Chain A
Amino acid sequence: MITFRSLKWIGLSLFLLLSSCIRIDESMQLFFPKNLKELQFVQTQFSAFWWNFVIIEPAKNQKDQPDFKSADEICQQLKKHVDHELRYVFCGSSVASAEKILKSYAEDIVYRQPFVEADRQNNLAIMANSATQVSFISDKSLFSLLRYDPFQTWQQYLDLSKSSLIDSFEKKNGYLFDKQTSRLIIPVQFQLSPSVKSIQPIMDDLKSFSSAFMVGSHGSTYRNEKQVRDDLSEVSAISIVIFIAFLAFLVFKSRISILLLTIPVGIAVGLAMLITQWIDGSIHGLTMAFGSGIIGLALDYGLHGAFGSESKQTWVSNTIGLLTTLSGVCILLLSGIPLIRQMMIFSSVGLAIGFGLFYILFRFYGSYFKIKDIDFVLPQIKGMRWVVILLVLFGLYGISKSEMTMDLKKLSFVSNQEADLTTWFFGKNGGGDSFLLIKPFANVDESTYDEYNWAQKNSVQYEGLSKYIPSPVAQSLNVQSWKLNGCSFFKTIPDENIGKIYSPFKDFICDPNLSTPTANFEASPMKDKAYLSHLVGESHILSIFTAKDKQQAQLIQQEYPKATSLTEALKNFSIGLEHDLTWMIPVSLLLTMLILALYYRHWKPVFTSLLPFFTGLGLYFTVAAVMKFDVDLISILGLVMVFGFSIDYGVFSTDVHRHLGTEAEIKSVYSALTFAALTNILGFLPMLFAGHPVLVHLGTALFYGTVGTYLGTICGVYPIYLKGKVR
Chain B
Amino acid sequence: MNNLLVLPIVIPFVTGIILILLWKHRTLQRLLSVAGAVALLITGFVLLADVWANGIQVIQIGDWPAPFGITLVADLLTCIMVILGGLMVVSVSIYSLTNIDPERESFGYHPLLQILMMGISGSFMTGDLFNLYVWFEVMLISSFVLLALGGERDQLEGGIKYVILNLMSSGIFLAAVGTIYALEGTVNMADLAVQIRESSQPGIIQALAMMFLVAFGIKAAIFPLYFWLPSSYHTPPAAVSAIFAGLLTKVGVYTLIRVFTLMFVRDVAFTHNLILILAGFTMVSGVLGAATQNEFRRILSFHIISQIGYMIMGLGLYTPLALAGSVFYITHHIVVKTNLFLVSGVVHHLRGTYQLKKLGGIYQIYPMLGILFLIPAFSLAGVPPLSGFWAKFALIRAGLEIEQYWIVVAALAVSLMTLFSMTKIWAEVFWKADPIADSAAQENPSLVTIPYLILPIAGLALVTMIIGLLSEPFFVLALQAAEQLMNPMEYIQAVNPVVEGAL
- Whether chains A and B associate is no
A interface residues, Cβ below 8 angstroms from B: none
